[in-house]
Amino acid sequence: MLTLEKALSLDALKNAIVLSGKKGLKNEISCINVMEVPDIYDWVTEGEFILTTGYPFKDSPTELADVIHKLSHKRLSGIAVKTKRYIDELPAEVLQTADELGFPLIQLPADARFASIISGLMPQVISKEEKEDRLRIDFLNEVALGKISSPSTLLDQAKRFEINMQAPYIAYVVTNDSVNSKAIKSKYFEQLVTNAFISLGELCVCWTYQDKVNVFIPIQPKIDDVKTRSVAIGRLLYNHLVDTVKDIQVAVGIGTYHKGNINLSKSYTEAIQAMRIGYMSSMAGVYHYDDIGIYQILMPFAGTESASRYIDSFLGKLIEYDKNKKTQLVSTLEQFIKCDSLEEAANNLFVHSKTLALRKAKIEKILGVSLKSEEVKLTLLAAIMLYRVSE
């Protein structure tokens, strides 16, 4: 947020001097206004920073004390007066009033240009609505990342943003990786998701963070099958987005239900993981955490030193070979292990079975193993899966 203190450090106010009211320099600026008439009070709003030549008070500068009192009552951020034009010097009474109220009174040089000050400060100014929106996003991110540990704090902060945190929620994460994703990201994509839930008659809390639309959806934990219900909602959302936007590639990750919204971060982490694992098999779709299988065990180790050592030990030589030779033997090995037959793996890779047999022999030579051993295949598959989630 742009405070008066920060504004005074910018070029636009580099020659300004704080005469009085320094206790209010932490005041935030929400808008900048110019005052050339004395009866401005009904037109100002909280957080405004007033610029004036002092013309309305040229005949009686002490009247500025009353003005400052009224502006302070309206919770404005401060006032800057251009001196040496209509007012040579501000009276002691005015300085004292500003000091007592902690209302910043700033002196501008005679050659100061209001247009330059406004254009220099406005890019830094955040409106009250933008500020509230940012605070709401910060709050929801703290909930999602598990940074709020007190249930009472959670409820109190949620009340400020009119979010009902007494209702039980499940977390969803929605991403768009379409070729036209740049045109429908951020707020527009968030609005698409929000509108989808409105059309489906589902209440939700939506916000955007790191190019993902995050959603908390109320759920009834007493229903027979929470998972079936939450996946059904996810599929309805997916279908609505696909029907609304041409060629959109949407992935929906869904977490499980955890009792108490203080634990919503667990559901959110699961939704992220479900989406990531889903992406490894297909760019678009609906993915529930309960369906990612062994990845539930592997994901917490992804990116750790232990995982790196494991991958390097059992798969490192093949990864290095792929990088140097521009081959895809890791993918070949993965298909060979997962498929029931050489022919099935060859079909999936769009190669002849004899070609795959030659690749298999090369893989065995590079790794120094025999792929006849089920234990070896299991070890290598775990290494491949860790490698995929660590990329």
Instruction: Please state which of the ranges 271-280, 349-358, 374-383 shows the lowest mean pLDDT.
Output: 271-280
Give backbone dihedrals phi and psi of 110, rounded to 5 degrees, phi first.
Answer: -60, -30
Per-residue pLDDT tens over the stretch 162-218: 999 998 999 999 998 764 445 455 678 888 999 998 888 888 999 998 889 999 999
Say if residues 236 and 174 touch (Cβ distance below 8 Å): no
Distance between CA atoms of residues 245 and 177, nearest Å: 13
Alpha helices (H) along the chain: 4-7, 64-73, 92-101, 114-121, 128-144, 151-160, 186-199, 226-244, 264-281, 295-298, 305-325, 329-338, 342-349, 353-367, 374-390
Say if residues 106 and 80 touch (Cβ distance below 8 Å): yes
CATH architecture of the domain with range 4-126: 3-Layer(aba) Sandwich (3.40)
Can you give the pLDDT at residue 282? 67
CATH architecture of the domain with range 166-292: 2-Layer Sandwich (3.30)
Say if residues 57 and 31 touch (Cβ distance below 8 Å): no
Q: How many CB atoms lie within 10 A of CB 342?
A: 15
Q: Which residues, listed in sequence order, are joined to residue 285 by a DSSP beta bridge? A: 251
* Residue appearing with tokens 């920073």: 49
Q: Cα 303 to chain center, whole Å?
A: 22
**Under DSSP, is residue 187 helix (H, G, I), strand (E, B) or coil?**
helix
Can you give the pLDDT at residue 315? 95
Interacting residues of 134 by C-beta distance below 8 A, sequence separation 6+: 126
Give backbone dihedrals phi and psi of 349, rounded to 5 degrees, phi first.
Answer: -95, -5
Percentage of the chain beyond pLDDT 70 is 96
Q: Domain 302-390, what fold?
A: Arc Repressor Mutant, subunit A (1.10.10)
Distance between CA atoms of residues 340 and 329, nearest Å: 18
The answer, as to whether pTM is greater than 0.85, is no
Distance between CA atoms of residues 194 and 241, nearest Å: 10
* CATH fold match for the domains 4-126 and 166-292: no
Interacting residues of 75 by C-beta distance below 8 A, sequence separation 6+: 46, 47
Residue 283 pLDDT grade (very low, low, confident, very high; cuts 50, 70, 90): low
Distance between CA atoms of residues 239 and 272, nearest Å: 20
What are the residue ranges spanned by the domains of the chain?
Answer: 4-126, 166-292, 302-390
